[in-house]
Amino acid sequence: MLTNDQLAQYDRDGFVIVEKLFDPEETQLLLKIASADDALEQPAESAEKLDLSRKFAAKVLSLGDGAGGESKFWVDDDLGDDYYSAISRCRRIVDSVEQMLGGEVYHWHHKMMLKSARTGGAFMWHQDYGYWHKVGYCLFPFMGSCMIAVNQTTKANGCLQVLAGSHQVGLINHERVDGQATADPERVDAAVERLPLVHLELDPGSAVFFHCNLLHRSDANRSDNPRWALICCYNAARNDPYRDSHHPRYTPLSKLDDDQVVHAGRRQLELMAT
Ligand SMILES: O=C(O)CCC(=O)C(=O)O
């Protein structure tokens, strides 16, 4: 749950950082599981592993970044028995997002941003609602996200940058540039002139909750350290899309008690080791 101060900060800035949302063991599990999944994307030696690799590689997407770079991530619209789903369902996130959005929420999607050392591409200025309202047919901006740092995020490895207070400018027109939905540069420039730019440097396991209209971007990763982050996204139950899309319609989210998160991670790691 967010404190009143944290909620006030979220209302004012459109984002709030929560340090150490996940403890060291939970965070290590996330890193280990994500690293094992990433390895599956590489050509596998055994037929069994190849099958798994294909399944995992099928999920990994890559977008241009307008400057020759490649921004890689995977995204899942569904929840399963895996650790990422357990995190997406845990109360410390879902209850907080419900406070932010003022009512019941359900899972929209979750995604792992795989900004690799030296090669990870940039993300251009955008609002998530800038494309969710189109591809997901949600009428209201009653949507939000929680981004959890898997490894240390710094300016050097392309941490998230946000314009504090930009969630209040309302929906900006977005165009596709190199595959990415990007906000109208004239309006972005005006916002950059008027609002504080904040680099979200986070320790592993720390997180930022943010509003779907918050303008955000990130630089390419020129450092020797990867910058991976899990982003769990939610829609308010009262904002059920007015048309079908690949995103699930409102389905009640079965919340997971916080003390169960570590068990889900240990279970998955054991399964992956067998
Ligand atoms: O991972 C990043 O740097 C940016 C991610 C992002 O902007 C998004 O997924 O909407």
pLDDT (0 to 100) of residue 247: 85
pLDDT (0 to 100) of residue 56: 61
Largest CA distance in the chain: 56
Closest-CA residue, ligand 1 atom 8, reads: 128
Kindly give the number of the ligand 1 atom that is closest to the alpha carbon of 122: 3
Q: Which residues pair with 71 in a beta bridge?
A: 63
pTM of the model: 0.94
pLDDT (0 to 100) of residue 37: 84
Is 229 a pocket residue for ligand 1 (Cβ < 6 Å)? yes
Is 216 a pocket residue for ligand 1 (Cβ < 6 Å)? yes
- Ligand 1 centre from 217 Cα, in Å? 7
* Chain Cα centroid distance, residue 169: 22
Kindly give the number of the ligand 1 atom that is closest to the alpha carbon of 115: 1
Token pair, residue 105, equals 């929420």
Helix (H) or strand (E) holding 232: strand 227-236
pLDDT (0 to 100) of residue 38: 81
Domains of the chain by start residue, with CATH:
4-43+58-268 (2.60.120.620)
- Ligand 1 centre from 255 Cα, in Å? 25
pLDDT (0 to 100) of residue 61: 87
- Ligand 1 centre from 141 Cα, in Å? 18
Closest-CA residue, ligand 1 atom 3, reads: 218
HEC assignment per residue over 149-196: ECCCECCCCCCEEEECCHHHHCCCCEEEECCEEEECHHHHHHHHHHCC
Is 180 a pocket residue for ligand 1 (Cβ < 6 Å)? no
Closest-CA residue, ligand 1 atom 1, reads: 113
pLDDT (0 to 100) of residue 48: 60
| pLDDT tens digit at each of 274 positions of the chain | 999 999 999 999 999 999 999 999 999 999 999 998 887 666 555 656 555 555 566 578 888 888 888 888 999 999 999 999 999 999 999 999 999 999 999 999 999 999 999 999 999 999 999 999 999 999 999 999 999 999 999 999 999 999 999 999 999 999 999 989 999 999 999 999 999 999 999 999 999 999 999 999 999 999 999 999 999 999 999 999 999 998 889 999 999 999 999 999 999 999 888 7
Site to substitute for ligand 1 among 70, 75, 108, 123, most atoms within 8 A of C-beta: 123
pLDDT (0 to 100) of residue 53: 57
225 within 8 A of 121, measured Cβ to Cβ: no
Is 231 a pocket residue for ligand 1 (Cβ < 6 Å)? yes
Site to substitute for ligand 1 among 109, 147, 222, most atoms within 8 A of C-beta: 147
Look-up of token digits 């420039």: 189
65 within 8 A of 123, measured Cβ to Cβ: yes
pLDDT (0 to 100) of residue 114: 93
